[in-house]
Amino acid sequence: MAKIIVVTSGKGGVGKTTTSAAIGTGLALKGHKTVIVDFDIGLRNLDLIMGCERRVVYDFVNVINGEANLKQALIKDKRLDNLFILPASQTRDKDALHKEGVERVLNELSDEFDFIICDSPAGIESGAMMALYFADEAIVVTNPEVSSVRDSDRILGMLSSKSRRAEQGLPGIKEHLLLTRYNPERVQKGEMLSVDDVNDILAIKLLGVIPESQAVLNASNSGQPVILDADSDAGQAYLDTVSRLVGETVPFRFLNVEKKGLLKRIFGG
């Protein structure tokens, strides 16, 4: 039985797909057989972030409609043997995903894999609801910014009322907070909400803090999940995050401003 983890946020552009790619790859690096499923029907992007956009033949909706089987649609990662991607389709039909179909595909994946990462679309429409419905755990990706925090709280409400676990009276979805695009300099100047501020408001367990980093754009430009850039701050922060996700205790890094020399402090820079 696979563990199903949804990566969600409500708000768009906060780093859901970057996070899905990084965490899926990180779990595979740790030896777990992992599949990342793109639920963003009509706006497929996980393939680009993973660097397999030219290898998409069949997609999630084809499998649901019986036009292809899972083996045909799954794309095997070129870097890691135990990592697979199920791409979203580019159809404009918003109702292409339905509970019965999604459940059937997830059940089939569940027999094969240790982890299923569901990359949710933004918003609270049916695609986002499908992505979270079957989840065992949720990673709520949040930027330290008012609209993102508010939308995350909204999604937390959905997780606890609109999921399969909620409807069937099972133990609730395990919720994790992942703070992304964190800028310690701006936090120190009082220009950005701190980790503690966001934690006070959302009150769920903190899984990781990813610093605002040039490495993220470089990674997406080249189709390499940022976690594979192990020299970068964001890559290391994602590695820590994955370790915590599988139950290891890892101290938090990149929360404070690096100490600057005296000259830099006086003249700035």
Check residue 167 for interaction with other proteins (CB under 8 A): no
- CB nearer to other proteins: pick between 55 and 189: 189
Pick the piece of the chain touching other proteins (CB under 8 A) from 67-75, 104-112, 182-190, 247-255.
182-190
Separation CA 173–CA 170 (nearest Å) = 9
- CB nearer to other proteins: pick between 188 and 214: 188
Separation CA 209–CA 145 (nearest Å) = 14
Q: CA geometry: angle at 241 spanning 237 and 242, to 5°? A: 120
Pick the piece of the chain touching other proteins (CB under 8 A) from 64-72, 101-109, 190-198, 230-238.
190-198
- CB nearer to other proteins: pick between 122 and 158: 158
Separation CA 187–CA 193 (nearest Å) = 6
Give me the least distance between CB of 267 and other proteins, in Å please. Answer: 6
Check residue 266 for interaction with other proteins (CB under 8 A): yes
Check residue 200 for interaction with other proteins (CB under 8 A): yes
Check residue 206 for interaction with other proteins (CB under 8 A): no
State the Cα torsion 130-131-134-139 to the nearest 10°.
Answer: -150
Q: What is the CA radius of gyration of the chain?
A: 18
For residue 6, what are the CA distances in angstroms to 72, 164, 186, 194, 197? Answer: 23, 13, 30, 24, 24
Which residues form the interface with other proteins (CB under 8 A)?
145-146, 149-150, 153-154, 157, 161, 187-194, 197, 200-201, 265-269
